[in-house]
């Protein structure tokens, strides 16, 4: 009969969901075994001792490893580019807008509504283009089988 997992082990197993799916699928079981073995060794080395230093070390190590593994997938670069593209496009459009000889209606309400409609249209187009480009360029990552 299998002994119940400690609270530390259950928390560690739940924290493994922070890793990229491919990495988690390949290494999660081994990582949990290593964590259990290290915890057990720590308990044997200091019977009745506190595990706070061990827990702190493991959580810091886990946080660093999660960041490293996500950086290896390439997704942070894609996310950064997905954010920078609409910002750059909006900046370019706003500088272009200032140079165009556009004459808005003289009524304040009509001019405000027209500008709001144009801004809404530009934002919708930028968001749609960002989503389409992000999905297009991430297709190889979505269908990749290996890590």
Answer with the one of 73, 100, 120 that is the final residue of a domain: 73
User: Is residue 62 a part of any domain in this protein?
Assistant: yes
Distant-in-sequence, close-in-space partners of 51: CB < 8 Å, separation ≥ 6 = 8, 39, 42, 43
Please answer whether residues 62 and 12 qualify as being in contact, where contact means their C-beta atoms are separated by less than 8 angstroms: yes
Q: Which of 73, 88, 122 delimits the end of a domain?
A: 73
Note if the pTM is more than 0.75: no
C-alpha Rg value of the chain to the nearest Å: 26
One domain for residues 49 and 79: no
CB 10 within 8 A of CB 4: no
In a shared domain, residues 118 and 60: no
Domain identity same for 86 and 30 = no
Co-location of 115 and 84 in the same domain: yes
In a domain, 101, yes or no: yes
For 73, residues 6+ apart whose C-beta sits below 8 A from its C-beta are: 20, 22, 141, 147
Q: Domain check: are 48 and 81 in the same one?
A: no
Task: Per-residue pLDDT tens, the chain, 147 aa: give them.
Answer: 355 678 889 999 999 999 998 899 999 999 999 999 998 888 888 876 678 888 889 999 999 999 999 888 877 777 777 778 777 877 777 777 667 776 665 655 666 677 778 778 888 887 787 778 777 777 766 565 554
Which domain does 137 fall in, by range?
Answer: 75-142
Number of folded domains that form the chain:
2
């Amino acid at each position: 009969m299998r002994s119940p997992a400690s609270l530390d082990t259950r928390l560690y197993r739940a924290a493994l969901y922070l890793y990229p799916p491919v990495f988690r699928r390949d290494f999660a079981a081994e990582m949990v075994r290593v964590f259990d073995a290290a915890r057990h060794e720590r308990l044997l080395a200091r019977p009745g001792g506190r595990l706070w230093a061990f827990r702190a070390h493991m959580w810091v190590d886990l946080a660093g490893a999660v960041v490293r593994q996500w950086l290896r997938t390439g997704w942070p670069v894609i996310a950064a580019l997905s954010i920078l593209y609409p910002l750059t496009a909006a900046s370019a459009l706003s500088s272009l807008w200032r140079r165009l000889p556009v004459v808005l209606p003289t009524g304040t309400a009509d001019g405000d509504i027209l500008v709001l409609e144009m801004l809404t249209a530009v934002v919708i187009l930028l968001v749609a283009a960002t989503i389409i480009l992000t999905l297009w360029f991430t297709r190889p990552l979505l269908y990749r089988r290996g890590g």
